[in-house]
Structure formats: C-alpha cells, structure tokens
Structure 1
Amino acid sequence: MKKFLYSVCMLAMFLSATARAAITVTDDLGNTVVLQKPAQRVISLSPHVTELIYAAGAGERIVATVKYSDYPAAAKNIPRVGDNRQVDIERVIALKPDLLIVWMHGAFERQLEPLAKSGIPYFFSDPRKLDNIPETLTKMGAMFGTEKQAKLAADDFRKQVSQLSSRYQNKGNVKVFYQVWNKPLYTLNDQHIVSDVIRTCGGENIFGKLPVPAPTVNLEAVLAENPEVVLSGDSKNQPVSGIEQWKPFPSLLAVKNHNLVAIDGDELNRPGPRIIEGARAVCEALETARNNRSVYKTATAGQKP
C-alpha cells in the first residue's frame, strides 16, 4: 500500500512539473508566447529570423522559410512559402508548424488574421538595437530547448558589441548618411538597428529624427546636411554601387575626404548575428573618416579658397 501511495505521489509530482513546464516568452511586440514543449517544426518568415534560428542551434527544425533566406548555406535548401510581399497561408498551415517566427511589415500585417485564426503560436522578431539580438537568441533557445548553444551565441555577440563600443563610441562624432537604395533615395531613421550600429561606432545618423522608419529623401537634403561619411548597404546582385552617384558633388564633405563606403547590405540591414560584421565595417569606416580629417586638412591648407 505504501509503495502504491508513493507511486501515486511521484506520478502527481511528475504531472505537476510537466504542467508547469510550459515555455513562456515575450516577443518584440510585447505579446506573450506560450509553448507547451520545445518547438520541433518552425516556419521562419524573414531572412534575419532564419539566421537567428541557426545561431540558436535549431536550424534543422525549420520546415519552411521565405525568399532571400540564404544564410547559412544550408538555408538555401529549405522550402519557400513566399517572400516579403506575399506568404502562401494555405501552405503554411498545411505544413503543420508548431511555431511561426515572423517579422512585422505591411504585407504580413494584412495576412495576420488568418494565421492568428489557425491557432499556430507566433513570435514577432524585430530587433531594433544590437542588444536585442542576444536577447532574441536567448528567447529562441528557450522556445527550442537549445538554451546552451543559444547562450553561447548570445554571450559571444554581447562580447563583440562591447568591444566595438569601448573602442569607438566615445571618439569624435561623425555625421553619417546611410543609403539603403538610390532610386528612389531611401534611408533609415533611428528606429532601425542600423542607427544603433552607427551610434555604437561614434556616429550620428543625419536623418535619424525623421518620423518614418524608412523615409525617402532628396539629393538637396543630403547636400544640405553635408555628412562626413556616406554609407551604402549594397546588394550582392548590384552591378554598380549606388554610392557612385555622389562623386559628381565634390563640395560634399564625404566626397572631399574620400569617405564613400559601400558595405554588404545583408550584413547590416538584417538584424541577425552577422550584423556584427557589418558593425565592424561601419566602425572602421568612421575611424578612417576621423583620420582623414587631418590628412585632407593638411593637404588643402596651402590652397587658395
């Protein structure tokens, strides 16, 4: 009888522990996401999400993703269910995922209702600061049960950001124009993680205060701000860098001091682990600009105005 009661108590304790084992995290929109067990079948609806899932140690659990999810190399073989404009909702549901990780944008917002009605748990990922990336990795580790690998990736990322910040953030301020695209001329405001990269490197986004996250600007506005550095987030498929359009404007300080810099857009625009490489390139570009101040000042000192 005692053995039976002991077994019943142990079973009750086990069931109680199992009931308490639900995984609860908060996504980037402040929504509470609850999973009863670690996710085994996930659909990634953004390239940066795919990179984060791999870094968190759960890449093999991605059953579908979207166009441009091309890193790491293994991601190229994952089936596609759409792109940043349109997602095949029926196919998403048919794949029976136990978790969706999505990025909020206009196109997805229109498709949110049918996904919400499907009952599939979803996590919104929209890191806007470098510190948000290790936080997201930790949350993904919890959702997938890969806490150890996710923690290693998060700790390594924090360490690298700290090193860049310590080295560059308190140096002389550099005015920066960040060019997403040149036709039309797009930039980003301070809500985007690129501005946090610029701040970490001791720079200032000249259009950071604009209210729209990805505003269009004109040539005259850029020339009026006279940035010391022009950064361009180029695509790998771009035959010619859009940054070339500034060379006919020798009065622009960035042109005068030879501070036109093209950086791989995938390493800077995507808020995933690889952004640390883009951040390093930005910090080096801004440091070069600081060094160029004295070089070009000396070179032009003897010239007549």
Structure 2
Amino acid sequence: MHRRDMLRWLGGGALGVMCGPLAARPACAAHDMYVDGGLVAIGGGLTESIFALGAGQQVLGADTTSTYPEPANALPRVGYQHTLTPESILSLRPDVLIHDGSAGPSTTLERVAGAGVKLLTVSGEPSLNGFKIRVVTLGCWLRAEARAMEIIRSVEADLDSAREIQADLGRPPRLVLLMAHGQGNAVAAGRDTKADALARLCGGENVFQDYSGYRPVSREGVMARRPDALIISGEAAADFGGSLSQVPQYVGDTLFLLGFGPRLGEAVLDVSRFLNKRLAAHPLSVSRGYA
C-alpha cells in the first residue's frame, strides 16, 4: 500500500472503529515525522510493535518492560518507564524517543528534549482502537505502512476466531484480572485499564467495575465477587494464585496479555480458548460462582 493510500484509508475510517482526530489527521501526514535515525522506545507493547514493523535495527535502547522479542530483551535498558533518567537515555545518543504518554517523569523528558532529542508520542489508549491507531502511526513514522496493515489484519483474524469461540459460553463469564504490584502484592484491575479492555475482548465481564485503575485486593475480596475465572499475570500467580486454586485460572505473561501490541489477537484467542475449555462444558448461569 502506498503512503497516500494509507492516509486516504485512515481518513475514510476503513478500520471501522477508528475515529477522532488521530484517525482523520494521522501524525505521519507531515514528511518531517519520518523516523530514520536511532531511537529509544518506551513501553513493552510499543517496542514490540516497532520490531514487528521491521525497524528493530533502529532501536538503541528501551525501558525495562520491553522484554519481547528476544532482541528487544537484549537492548540496553534506560530504566522503568515512569522513572526514567535523562542520563540513561542521552548516553545512547538517540535522535528520537518514542513513547505512549506513560514515560516520565516530565523533568526527564524536558531535559532529553532540551538536548535535541525529538519526542514522539503515540496513542496509549487501552483498547483495540488504540492498538490500531498506534500501529498505523508507527508504520507511517517508520516507513512501514504495508507491514502495519498486515499486523492489523492478522490481529483482526485472530479476534474473529476468538468471537466464534466465545459464542459457546452462553453469557459473558465473570472475570477477575490480577496483576503484580511489588513483591507479594496483587492488585485487581478496575475500569479504564488494559486488563479491563482485555476482559471485554475475551467476551468476559470484569467484575471490578466500581473503581478505575488498579487496587490491592485480598483473597476474600476476590471470592466475594463470585468470579467464573481468573486471569493472572505470572508474577501475581506466584504470590496469589495458589490461594484461589478452586477457581479456573489463566496465567500468562504480563506483556503478552497487556502489551496491546502485535500479539493482541493471539492473547485474546488464547484466553478465549481457555475459557471455552474450562467453562463451556458447564453452561454459565446467573448463579454460577465459587464460594
């Protein structure tokens, strides 16, 4: 696909769910937004997307959440995405720093920009729509528009397969999504989180809808919500999963589940298969739950 066709496709809303100013006026519309030099990537899903677009050779360093693919995991580290230091970034002499709005603190970003590094921010919206905007924008910046389209089509194909599987469940399963937050501390995802978006893409209902973000939770707090299944990051499972062994548990890598990168479709399909296998044999009713 030629670049002019990509821009026409974006502006025409051919993605279906894409809308708003980012779709109508993509950041790559200006030629000076091309990224041809060395870059630092902040955010595991974003870094993974850059590699999937074929631009991994441009990445000089990344934050500690950038663990996939293996070449990304071997990159020099510039720290955790929320606690970056200017020295760790500038020592790599990048031309560009790309992040999804979660990089910080602001004082670090100001110093990096002041040193002549261009800062580019891509959509960090935790949704399928946000993923599509993110991949298309990166594809434009990195001159990889055709590859961006291939990635989106692959994800959509997996999501179509997942929806067919989800249709067997009868009603949306009640899900609790547990993530690690420091040693021995699990948090449950509420509204406005990638975990909540994942639950919906998997055909489920996140039972913690009474707050936004993540909050610490106890075993009793989880069981009081009568979940049909748990989705747990590997880190949280080590500290928390055993005490909830009577509830079906999908345990997965945090970046795989919540990266909202090129493997988004794989993650949704994998979780959907798990839910189908564990729950479809016992049709879900309103009263289902675990005491």
Q: TM-score, normalised by structure 2?
A: 0.76
Kindly indicate whether the alpha-carbon contact (under 8 Å) linking 1:86 and 1:108 is maintained by their aligned counterparts in 2.
yes
Is the counterpart of residue 45 in structure 1 residue 42 in structure 2?
Answer: yes
Q: Distance in 2 between matches of 1:215 and 1:49?
A: 25
Kindly indicate whether the alpha-carbon contact (under 8 Å) linking 1:234 and 1:242 is maintained by their aligned counterparts in 2.
no
Q: Distance in 1 between matches of 2:190 and 2:26?
A: 24
Q: Distance in 2 between matches of 1:242 and 1:35?
A: 50
Kindly indicate whether the alpha-carbon contact (under 8 Å) linking 1:81 and 1:88 is maintained by their aligned counterparts in 2.
yes
Is the counterpart of residue 173 in structure 1 residue 147 in structure 2?
Answer: no
Q: Distance in 2 between matches of 1:118 and 1:31?
A: 26
Q: Distance in 2 between matches of 1:91 and 1:231?
A: 34
Gaps of 5+ in 1: 1-25, 248-254, 296-305
Q: Distance in 2 between matches of 1:168 and 1:239?
A: 25
Q: CA deviation at 1:241?
A: 6.0
Q: Distance in 2 between matches of 1:110 and 1:279?
A: 37
Q: CA deviation at 1:287?
A: 1.6
Following superposition, which runs of at least 4 residues in structure 1 exceed 6 angstroms of deviation?
none
Is the counterpart of residue 202 in structure 1 residue 203 in structure 2?
Answer: yes
Q: Match of 1:13?
A: none
Q: 1:260 to 1:154 in 2, by over 3 A?
A: closer
Identity fraction in percent: 19
Q: Distance in 2 between matches of 1:141 and 1:188?
A: 30
Kindly indicate whether the alpha-carbon contact (under 8 Å) linking 2:231 and 2:250 is maintained by their aligned counterparts in 1.
yes
Q: Which one of 131, 134, 137 corresponds to residue 133 of structure 1?
A: 131
Q: 1:209 to 1:99 in 2, by over 3 A?
A: farther
Larger Rg: 1
Is the deviation greater in 284-293 or in 191-200?
A: 284-293
**Bigger RCO of structures 1 and 2 (CA < 8 A, at least 6 apart):** 2
Q: Match of 1:20?
A: none
Q: 1:58 to 1:288 in 2, by over 3 A?
A: same
Q: 1:263 to 1:189 in 2, by over 3 A?
A: same
Q: 1:244 to 1:73 in 2, by over 3 A?
A: same
Q: 1:143 to 1:31 in 2, by over 3 A?
A: closer
SS of the residue 2:232 aligns to: strand
Q: Match of 2:32?
A: 36
SS of the residue 1:207 aligns to: coil
Q: Match of 1:223?
A: 223
Q: Match of 2:262?
A: 273
Is the deviation greater in 54-63 or in 112-121?
A: 112-121
CA-to-aligned-CA distance 1:46-91 (integer Å, 9 cap, x gap): 2221101011221111122122422112223322222234323134
CA-to-aligned-CA distance 1:205-230 (integer Å, 9 cap, x gap): 0113412x122223332222111112
Q: Distance in 2 between matches of 1:218 and 1:55?
A: 38
Kindly indicate whether the alpha-carbon contact (under 8 Å) linking 1:134 and 1:153 is maintained by their aligned counterparts in 2.
no
Kindly indicate whether the alpha-carbon contact (under 8 Å) linking 2:43 and 2:99 is maintained by their aligned counterparts in 1.
yes
Q: Distance in 2 between matches of 1:79 and 1:287?
A: 40
Q: Which amino acid aligns with 1:162?
A: D
Q: Distance in 2 between matches of 1:82 and 1:36?
A: 28
Q: CA deviation at 1:124?
A: 3.8
Q: TM-score, normalised by structure 1?
A: 0.73
Q: CA deviation at 1:174?
A: 0.8
Gaps of 5+ in 2: 1-20, 285-291
Aligned length: 258
Q: Which amino acid aligns with 2:53?
A: A
CA-to-aligned-CA distance 1:148-207 (integer Å, 9 cap, x gap): 222211221122223323442684121111111383230212312222222122210011
Q: Match of 1:112?
A: 109
Q: Which amino acid aligns with 2:101?
A: M
Q: Match of 1:190?
A: 191
Kindly indicate whether the alpha-carbon contact (under 8 Å) linking 1:179 and 1:230 is maintained by their aligned counterparts in 2.
yes
Q: Match of 2:17?
A: none
Q: Which one of 72, 89, 100 corresponds to residue 92 of structure 1?
A: 89
